[in-house]
Chains A and B, each alone.
Chain A
Amino acid sequence: MVGEKFIRVLHIDLTAGDIRTEEREDLMPYLGGAGVAAKLLQENFHPGLAPTSPKQPIVFAIGAGTFIFPVLTKVVATFLSPLTGEYGESHAAGRLGMAMLMAGYDAIVITGRSRKPCYLAITDRDVNIREANSIWGLLSEETGRIIRDRENAGGRASGRRSIIRIGPAGENGVAFASVNVDTYRHFGRLGLGAAMGSKHLKGMSVFGERPLPIANPRQYFKVYREIYHKCVFSAGMRKYHDLGTPVNVKSLNKLGAIPTLNLKAGRFEHADDISGEAFAEKNLVRKMACAGCPVGCIHIGMYRHEFDKGQEYEAINVTYDYELIFALGSFLGIRSTDEILAIIQDVEEFGVDAMSVGVCLGWATEALERGIITREQTLTDLRFGHAAGYIKALGYLTRGTNEFYRDLGRGSRFVAEKYGGEDYAMQLGGNEMTGYHTGYAATVGQAVGARHSHLCNAGYSLDQGMKSFDEDKVVDDLFREECDRCMATSLVMCLFARRIYDDQTMLDALGAVGWDLTPEDLVTIGKRIYQTKLQIKRALGFDPRQVRIPKRFFETPTIHGVLDEGTTYRMIGKFADKADALLEEDLS
């Protein structure tokens, strides 16, 4: 709790309807965010039970500086991943971090399963489990609107509350179902939506008006002002506002690193047509920011949808980013911005992770081409470049229309193990690949990373900045970055701002709100958090040495050429050795 020496945890048991709070001094060594969320998951999880068992916990945690300093905007969710079966961690911002801070909860732990569909209404005054029978089955946007109308605190909540919710995919147990946060942000990866759905939990509204006095106003505002200016006047941050992350479409295509046509290639002949520049010219209508971020990277695109014949149109606004353009664009051969936005719209409304669903559909398209699966199973023509088929398939997948789509909804690793085509089911550690076929660091990094995300250790960035390849140095750099990012995400930093918050800036910010820490402490905290995640992964049976990487990763050239299989597995082994050593360290 800001200004206090404890972490305030709200526990909600949906089976019993019990609600209680704890003030935990012993969680302070984990700082907040990823640290506290991982530790609370470790305390509450059940390794022998399925990720969707009612007993499994879902944890949300804000960080030591969430909303108090610029770009510390995020909330970390931890859970057991219905997709990978092991450690689940996903980050989102919107207004959720601010709302949790204002409601007075550093962390929320949800266990049990409600007998009937429900949503949670959390404020600084009370916590209620509300019935949600009438909204179960509704799409994401309408769900948000209904909860917003019901939980408005007499109008005081407007602009100060956060509403998260799942779509039909989460209700139906799609293993990579997402959670929509305040319409334009998401807990996307690893299936938090399915974890919520398994608890009959449709959504959560958070609002509060706590007074939160500043202990040392002069020192605080001095540090705040310095960080604010770094954010606003940094060229590195500016690009996130201007074209946004889609600026990467052209640059990664030029490097030959944008996964295309199920990673048959690293360049897309229509890349210019789906570039950040193309979206800005044709579709961009608005930019927005998460609460506490003066940068504003959220890009909203509009497309015109003909919902009926006879000049019957509606304007639809959806958010777009590089990752969505890769997964639902180049990866599927979709060559127009309007078609990508139309696919994103359904991804949003049904509530699935854009990257996982795009990569799964890429596998299905190629599997159909090769005759491993049939048109009778896919129910529609899945062909690269044909958006209409993918839009139909999204509906079948979300509803689990037949056995094939129910299998596809368990992820590319599962479906390829059952039907074949494992060599081109583009997952790493069970999580579908991200938009960077850049080299060894990206591939190894996602395979071994705690949450099998490109954001665990930023291998994609390492590959792009590397002058010459040194396998041991890459492993060392990945490992150090993984630890450093555990520290950064305990604040909780938006990782776009990684370079704004150097060690001294983190110490200044933490110092201004009462933490007396040294540079060595930052290293230890990062290692302590990563060690906790590794303990969870080990308890769940994850062994990096058992990871098997699809052959296509070794066939399609990266910016460092074609990857050597032996080198890749050797690097994974070296990383695993370092992880084993960290597990033995005494960091208490």
Chain B
Amino acid sequence: MPYIINPKGMNKCLGCLTCVTVCAAVNQESHSVAKSAIRIRTTGGMTGSIVAVVCRGCQAPACKEACPAGALLPRPGGGVTLDADLCYGCRKCVPACSVGAVNFDRETQKPIICCHCGICTTFCTHGCIMMTEVREESGHGG
């Protein structure tokens, strides 16, 4: 069964940004928080609640529907994978995602797409984000 990232324990988040660091390091070979597919922010200043902005693994992804190049392909379990050769950087996938989880890479001019590798969950000290097993036919909508 495939897995997707599930940020269901964000009430426990410290805001350490380790998940952001390891995502960018492992998937993009970069120290940059701008290269991470997961983003941690607050609902308004440091006194606000901490939230994770990350791909929710939609079964019918709006980002895929918005892509005119056919560069976003369905991923088993939910979400999409990026065919970088087909992508020409139109950015239509960015506003299409209702949770704002498609990050656009200024350097490569391509979207940064979460591959649900789970490295962020491995380094989450507080169990804020975890991997959830999904049955493809019962996954949530998009």
Contacts and interface: CB of A to CB of B under 8 A. Distances in A.
A242 interface: no
A212 B32 contact: yes
A98 B47 contact: no
A216 to B, nearest CB: 9
A25 B31 CA distance: 22
Interface stretch (B33-41, B80-88, B132-140): B33-41
B34 A211 contact: yes
Given A102-B33, A213-B29, A220-B25, A293 B47 contact: no
A212 B30 contact: yes
Closest 9 CB pairs of A and B: A159-B41, A296-B14, A209-B34, A289-B16, A289-B14, A183-B46, A212-B31, A212-B32, A158-B41
A317 B47 contact: yes
Given A183-B46, A220-B25, A288 B14 contact: yes
A70 B22 CA distance: 11
14 contacts: A94-B46, A98-B33, A101-B31, A102-B32, A159-B40, A184-B46, A211-B107, A212-B31, A214-B25, A214-B29, A214-B30, A217-B25, A291-B15, A292-B17
Contacts of A213: 29-31
A144 interface: yes
A67 interface: yes
A159 B18 contact: no
A296 B39 CA distance: 18
A264 interface: no
Nearest to B50: A288
A144 to B, nearest CB: 6
B123 interface: yes
Interface of A: 2, 67-68, 70, 94, 98, 101-102, 141, 144-145, 148, 158-160, 182-184, 208-214, 217, 220-221, 224, 228, 232, 287-296, 298, 317
B22 to A, nearest CB: 8
B98 interface: no
Nearest to A296: B14
Given A212-B35, A213-B31, 13 more contacts: A67-B21, A68-B31, A101-B31, A148-B45, A159-B39, A182-B46, A183-B47, A209-B34, A211-B32, A214-B29, A294-B125, A296-B14, A296-B125
Contact of B32 (A145, A158, A210, A294): A210
Which of A208, A211, A287 has most chain B Cβ within 10 Å?
A211
Contacts of B34: 102, 160, 208-211
B90 interface: no
A158 B42 contact: yes
- Could you say which interface size class chain B belongs to? 20 to 34
A160 B33 contact: yes
Interface string B1-38: 00000000000001111100110011001111111000
Given A182-B46, A213-B30, A294-B125, A289 B35 contact: no
B41 A224 contact: no
A224 B119 CA distance: 13
A210 B24 CA distance: 12
A211 B30 contact: yes
B31 A2 contact: yes
Contacts, number: 96
Nearest to A184: B46
Given A214-B25, A221-B25, A292-B17, A183 B45 contact: yes
A217 B29 contact: yes
A291 B17 contact: yes
Contact of A291 (B16, B29, B31, B42): B16
Contacts of A184: 46
B12 to A, nearest CB: 9
Contacts of B45: 144-145, 148, 183
Most buried by A among B18, B39, B126: B18
Interface string B32-75: 11110001111011110000000000000000000000000000
Interface in B95-142: 106-107, 123, 125-126
A98 B17 contact: yes
B24 to A, nearest CB: 8
A148 B26 CA distance: 31
A151 to B, nearest CB: 13
Contacts of A208: 34
A433 to B, nearest CB: 30
Contact of B16 (A148, A160, A296): A296
Contacts of A98: 17, 33
Given A68-B31, A317-B47, A294 B16 contact: yes
B25 A293 contact: no
A343 to B, nearest CB: 19
A288 B15 contact: yes
Contacts of B25: 214, 217, 220-221, 224
A424 B73 CA distance: 73
A164 to B, nearest CB: 12
Contact of B18 (A94, A220, A228): A228
A293 B30 contact: no
B97 to A, nearest CB: 13
A214 B31 contact: yes
Nearest to A156: B34
B29 A228 contact: no
Nearest to A68: B31
Contacts of A228: 18, 123
Contacts of B107: 211
Given A148-B45, A209-B106, A217-B25, A293 B16 contact: yes
Query: Which residue of B14, B34, B45, B106 has the most chain A CB atoms within 10 A of its CB atom?
Result: B14
Contacts of A182: 46
Contacts of A210: 32, 34
Nearest to A220: B25
A210 B34 CA distance: 7
Contacts of B26: 221
A214 B31 CA distance: 6
A302 to B, nearest CB: 11
Given A182-B46, A183-B45, A209-B34, A70 B18 contact: yes
A523 B33 CA distance: 33
